[in-house]
Amino acid sequence: MSPASDATTTLLILGASGDLTQRLLLPGLGSLLAVETDRSVHVVGADRADMSQQEWADTVRTALTSTGAPDEAVEAIVAGTEYIKADLMVPEELDALLTQVGDPVVLYFALPPAVSVQVCELLETRGVSEQTRLALEKPFGTDLPSAQALNVQVLKVVDENRVHRIDHFLGLSTVLNLLGVRFANRLLQPVWTSEHIEKVVISYDEDLALEGRAGYYDKAGALVDMIQSHLLQVLAFFAMEAPGSITEDEVRSVKADVLRATAVWGGDPRSASRRARYTAGTIGARAVPDYTSEEGVDPALDTETLAEMVVEIDTDRWRGTPFVLRSGKALGEKSKKIEVIFKEPDRVPSGLHGKDVPDSLVLDLKPAAMVVSLSINAEGDPFDLEQKELVATLADSRMLPYGEVLGRILDGDPLLSIRGDVAEDCWRIVEPVLGAWRADEVPMQEYAAGSSVPDGWGAIPAKR
Ligand code: NDP
């Protein structure tokens, strides 16, 4: 193995022949290198699969090149990379691997969640160097107790600021852009409160169906797959107080404050949540089978493919504003955005006509864009108002979200990583909904694949 220079970080990928490594992690690294061409990373892959050094080098080269890393940077990584076959649940093999790779190292867990837990237990016994950092993929547990147990276990291996719980939504340009939009614009700063905002809808509607992911998705469902993790992170960025500076301790602290104050709207998951599952239909020209007939789906699990929950944030800034979080698959139109609906003015002077739609601001997550809708006179009678859109198309992300997050991890900066208490809070917030669904207190609705979100969704229930 070629020795790593002082400025080089070693990225040791555990689970190197898996889907995440090949489809997201290595392409993310490629997009990072496309921007930061002189970044020096020593990539080592470990897995129990048989793979020759040549096959591994080709895998790395193809993935890095696919996302624009320049040839020179790719070849520098390929020249130093190595694949090590190891069963990571065998203490001697794990020990030999870590000894061979040396320090400083980022241990990237691209392993099945249950294997990651067991490897963490072995790392506690073996011990790791003070420079070691752990990068953990979601899911962080499967409920609040298991998330707490995982955090306890991980902290027996390294300190919290050396744990990187990954959520690539924190690398989305629109999410990162929220900091500038919110805190650097006098126009928006004062209206970002419940006094001025009627409601906020954060949605991630996909036009893709299951696409062969039953193994994971059928056990998770839309609520856990998207809302419990990604959309709550977006909510935290949207609603947090201004950090003193853009540093990991300040930003992660104000994010945690928001989520600690977040709970199901009115405390009643029966009225504040909805679930549905797609039936057979067509999306564009594609015929999609009924969800329960998709390969690998167990109908007895009663998994939802569309979920919505309304939450409230009990802080002086947000008390009274409902936040609707929604995500689903196999919908007719994809729509991935944050919609901010403003309250009507206290009074519109008589003699002005046409003010019949509230003002709004929409932040599109993919592709990144910002649309402000205002009531203005566009033509004709100067006192006749109509809704006009001011559209800002935002630059494409400078790199893939995985690249943005990975860059911070390699630098040892947890700014874009999820803190342990936040990972637990995200389970605490959704658990009442999961409980109500398990008890069948919320009916499972149906929608045909390729159709819209069912009527009535997005409505805010009256508090009892
Ligand atoms: P895969 O099953 O595709 O990959 C895991 C890899 O780890 C496999 O190559 C597997 O080998 C290997 N492995 C399992 N046990 C051991 C062991 N004891 N020693 C050495 N290698 C072992 O999973 P994914 O890549 O899909 O997921 C990895 C992680 O990323 C999971 O935590 C998942 O939740 C998370 N994730 C995945 C996403 C995705 O789109 N794939 C998206 C977001 C998060 P083998 O095949 O022999 O079992």
Where exactly are the structural domains of the chain? 8-167, 172-395+418-448
Q: How many residues does the chain have?
A: 464
CA dist 125 to 44, 48, 107, Å?
23, 21, 16
More confident residue, 354 or 34: 34
* Distance of CA 254 from the midpoint of ligand 1 (Å): 32
- Residue 1 pLDDT level (bands cut at 50, 70, 90): very low
Does the Cβ of 110 fall within 6 Å of ligand 1? yes
Instruction: Out of 51, 111, 406, give the residue to mutate to test ligand 1, the one with the largest number of ligand atoms within 8 Å of its CB.
Output: 111
Supply the pLDDT for residue 5.
45
Average pLDDT of the residues in 291-302:
96
Does the Cβ of 111 fall within 6 Å of ligand 1? yes
Between CA 281 and CA 283 the distance in angstroms is 7
* Distance of CA 385 from the midpoint of ligand 1 (Å): 56
Report pLDDT digits (tens) over 246-279.
999 999 999 999 999 999 999 999 999 999 999 9
The CATH H-level (homologous superfamily) assignment of domain 172-395+418-448 is: Dihydrodipicolinate Reductase; domain 2 (3.30.360.10)
pTM: 0.95
Supply the pLDDT for residue 326.
98
Average pLDDT of the residues in 229-235:
97
Average pLDDT across the chain, whole number:
94
Residues serving a catalytic function are: 230
Between CA 25 and CA 40 the distance in angstroms is 16
Supply the pLDDT for residue 393.
84
- Residue 4 pLDDT level (bands cut at 50, 70, 90): very low
Residue closest via CA to ligand 1's atom 7 equals: 15
Q: Return the ligand 1 atom nearest residue 115 CA.
A: 15
Nearest to 176 by CA among 457, 415, 345, 372: 415
**CATH fold label, 8-167:** Rossmann fold (3.40.50)
